[in-house]
Every structure is written in structure tokens, then in C-alpha cells.
Amino acid sequence: MARPALRPAPRPAPRRGRLAATLVLALATALLTGCGGEPLPDGVARVERVVDGDTIELSLSTGRERVRLLGIDTPETVHPTKPTECFGPEASARLAELAPAGSELRIERDVELRDRYGRLLAYLWAPDGTFINESLVAGGYARTLPIDPNRAHRRTLADAESAARSSGAGLWSACD
């Protein structure tokens, strides 16, 4: 009677391979959680930094993103070919007040996901319920910038601009 062939026991994975897998898992977890803390739920973002009055860097559940606030336009402060415009520094400072680094915001998207520069397009809300895009317009830090097909808050932003313009708020009285 023939004896069954003995198979060698499986060899354990080299420690180096397990260490690499552990490091990859740790890195992926850090990226998804914004480098610390619990993972962010969908629709919530953590502020990393303000770029200018209408652009911000956020950590989302999918990673870090540069986000362009939808429906508004603020005077330039960091454009590579344009000088700093009237009321630009004030608009950037106001966005930093409304969305300080480390704070968590509610994020809402519209029809288009990204602009031509690859930035995520979004409306933002502060924890106290302040609609940040509208607040910038209402305070005279931004003008409306309607770009079809993104229409979700067009009327709200237009009404805020009309009131800011009528009262001479911010850039409506400070700039020509």
C-alpha cells in the first residue's frame, strides 16, 4: 500500500511583510480620519486650512480635498497672476472666522462634483447652523457667482447679495 505524500506545512509570512501590511493599514486609517480621531461620517468635513475667501482645504471621509465654495466669488488674494484685490484679505479672514482650522462642517454638494481646476464644489454649514456661503455674501465679503447647473441655493444667495448691496456692506462700500 502506497503512503500518501506528506505536504510541507505552510510557511509563515515573513515578519517584514506583516509589518508593511500593518503600516499600510495604519496610513490608510490616518488618511480616512484626517490624521487622528474617529472616521468622519459622510456629509461632514474637518477644516484643515483656509486658502482664500472662497477656497478651503478639508478632510473628508474619503481624504483631504481642496474645496471651492459654490455660488459665490470673493476678491482674489492668492491668484498667481493677479494682485490682491480690494476686500480680499477681509474675505479670507472672515472665512477663517466662520470655519476655523480643526472645526467640523456639514458639506453639501450640488449637480457638478468638481470645477475645471479639480476642486470639489460645495456649500458649507458651521456647527451652529450658519450657512457659510450665504454668510459671506450677506456680510459683503463675496458676490454671487451663479454657474449652471448648480442651482440649489441660488435664490438664497441672490437675496443675501441684494440686501448687502443695498446696505453697502463690506466690499459694496469699500471697493469701486
pLDDT 10s digits, 7-52: 555 555 555 555 555 444 444 444 444 444 455 556 999 999 999 9
pLDDT at position 25: 47
Just list the catalytic residues: 68, 76, 119
Q: Classify the C-alpha dihedral 98-100-103-106 as positive or negative.
A: positive
| Average pLDDT, integer, range 118-126 | 96
Q: Is the peptide bond between 149 and the residue preceding it cis, with omega within 30 degrees of 0?
A: yes
Distance CA 95, CA 54 (A): 8
Q: What is the mean pLDDT of residues 114-118?
A: 93
For domain 45-174, the CATH class is mainly beta
- Whether the per-residue pLDDT at 56 is higher than 50: the answer is yes
Residues 69, 52 contacting (CB under 8 angstroms): no
Which residues does 8 contact at the CB level (< 8 Å), separation at least 6?
Answer: none
Q: What is the pLDDT of residue 147?
A: 92
Of 2-6, 106-110, 168-172, the one with minimum mean pLDDT is 2-6
Q: Which of 65, 43, 66, 70 is nearest to 148 (CA)?
A: 70
**Are the C-beta atoms of 47 and 100 separated by less than 8 Å?**
yes
Do residues 157 and 71 lie in contact, with contact meaning Cβ atoms separated by under 8 Å? Answer: yes
**Are 74 and 88 spatial neighbours (Cβ–Cβ below 8 Å)?**
yes
Q: Is the pTM of this model over 0.85?
A: no
